[in-house]
Structure 1
């Protein structure tokens, strides 16, 4: 797809994060003027940085007024799949409120394109969310559709599957945790490994964001971004072990499986029909690149 992002003014929330940082790099390569939002003061990386708590409407609107973006990529949020009730308030504050604030401000400023980072955990209307995180993302999706239908805001929601790849430094996530633990010569302690997920490589996800921003046909749509294949946690771990060339055997079953976990397969057919996008990186290829990134980092830090 031909990019239409050259010389466009772009605002990226969560710009310092795993996906956001790679998106910013790609947007700069495509010639966009990139503005990043973070809760902490930042500089460098070729982006213009803004410090703001997007859960506060005045702060969110101030950034939007100052930047006047042509495009907004909203990736910031509280990514935590814990089921306990203590996660309700943080996910409302850090997921739902920033999304509503940005959608409101975008509408008041004349409607820049907005691309949301949704989640595969968002349930269908007749289903119950599996976690406070899933509920907050589902509510964000409902508001996105409302702003598009009622206020004409050009918004697209991309429901991301299990994203992995180089640069992911949240060591509570499976791929970085297992890889880093193996490279240290330690034994990963894991669940049964039976749960299956749709794994998608980070650079493929970044491509989906840039394509969505350049395609008018996907406005008002909610689209799945995944590989269209379910692979078990155990299989992913075993592949990482082979790639890391370690004789250490992970301990499966020593950590309880998360209750209520469901297998969520991305509807890649519809995404391909609407957006023309599909994942291009195989799991084996993506994991090989990812493990090598961690290996180089481990060697530097040793």
Structure 2
């Protein structure tokens, strides 16, 4: 019996590698799309820019995917080029949807990765998918605009929108908070410079996130917007204390004003009730386990 074929955009990125491994482990034939010539560990790899509509149409016509996981985009909130958020995250996604709609082979599910940053700063407590969106930076605005744009294609494509909260794991760039902290402990640095310390975040393990994406593909709740999150917020201070225990020592923490962003969201904690209604029992490992995995990775 022929395996179902999944196309993962951004397959060479941090998340893409874990999603590819998850799908391959569960019987999918995984094809990858990226903007760099190297193909990582995915044998069926295509190099194309999301802003090159003609190249995207060619790739989609060749792959004829049964499902798509769209991860490609600019994910670092502090990225210096605001225009790039809109070009890649909004226009690039539209180019992909147009290519899929015109390919003559309708995918069974198209999962678009948005972001919990769309909720912004104005809502306290645990956020459900019904919470109002109040994006506080260009990255979040670009993701919310992408969500609205994607809904224009629902009559032609079976689209599901995932809103992941923060997640981490081995291989994530040190430009993100937790990998930066873990790397400093691995080096036994004496000090670390951080930005806003008075922030709370809902962290998941990237391996659990990949499982959630795979299970959402399988049930494909068309038109749904789904939080992917642990349901628990942890402060930066708690994270530092966990790392003190794992590593056996502590660092001097200094706040660098250059790292403090006025648009930072102070508290982000999500509800995963809807996700669990859709896919069944799902949990992310305790943050302590994820940090220990990252600290002790070879």
TM-score of the two chains, using structure 2 as the length reference: 0.88
1:42-121 → structure 2 map (5 Å cutoff): 42-43=38-39, 45-82=41-78, 87-109=81-103, 110-112=105-107, 113-121=109-117
In structure 2, distance between residues paired with 1:120 and 1:267: 11
Contact 1:87/1:133, CA 8 A, preserved across alignment? no
1:228-267 → structure 2 map (5 Å cutoff): 228-247=231-250, 249-255=251-257, 257-262=260-265, 263-267=267-271
Q: Structure 1: 5+ residue runs without aligned partners? A: 297-302
1:8-19 → structure 2 map (5 Å cutoff): 8-19=4-15
Q: Structure 2: 5+ residue runs without aligned partners? A: 120-129
1:161-176 → structure 2 map (5 Å cutoff): 161-168=165-172, 170-176=173-179
- Residue 135 (structure 1) aligned with residue 135 (structure 2): no
In structure 2, relative to structure 1, the CA distance for the partners of 1:252 and 1:192 (3 Å cut) is farther
In structure 2, distance between residues paired with 1:242 and 1:99: 42
- Residue 199 (structure 1) aligned with residue 193 (structure 2): no
Structure 2 residue matching 1:94: 3-state secondary structure:
helix
In structure 2, distance between residues paired with 1:51 and 1:127: 34
Q: CA RMSD in A?
A: 2.1
Deviation at 1:126, TM superposition (A): 5.5
| Residue among 267, 271, 280 paired with 2:275 | 271
Deviation at 1:45, TM superposition (A): 1.7
In structure 2, distance between residues paired with 1:6 and 1:242: 49
| Residue among 184, 202, 214 paired with 2:187 | 184
Deviation at 1:43, TM superposition (A): 3.4
Give a deviation string over 1:59-108, Cα, whole Å, max 9, x none: 1111111111101110011112139xx63311011211121111112122
In structure 2, relative to structure 1, the CA distance for the partners of 1:88 and 1:68 (3 Å cut) is same
In structure 1, distance between residues paired with 2:59 and 2:181: 38
Residue number in structure 2 paired with 1:153 = 157
In structure 1, distance between residues paired with 2:66 and 2:234: 38
Give a deviation string over 1:216-274, Cα, whole Å, max 9, x none: 3x111010000011111221122123212234x23143345321333222121122223
TM-score of the two chains, using structure 1 as the length reference: 0.87
Deviation at 1:282, TM superposition (A): 0.9
Structure 2 residue matching 1:79: 3-state secondary structure:
coil
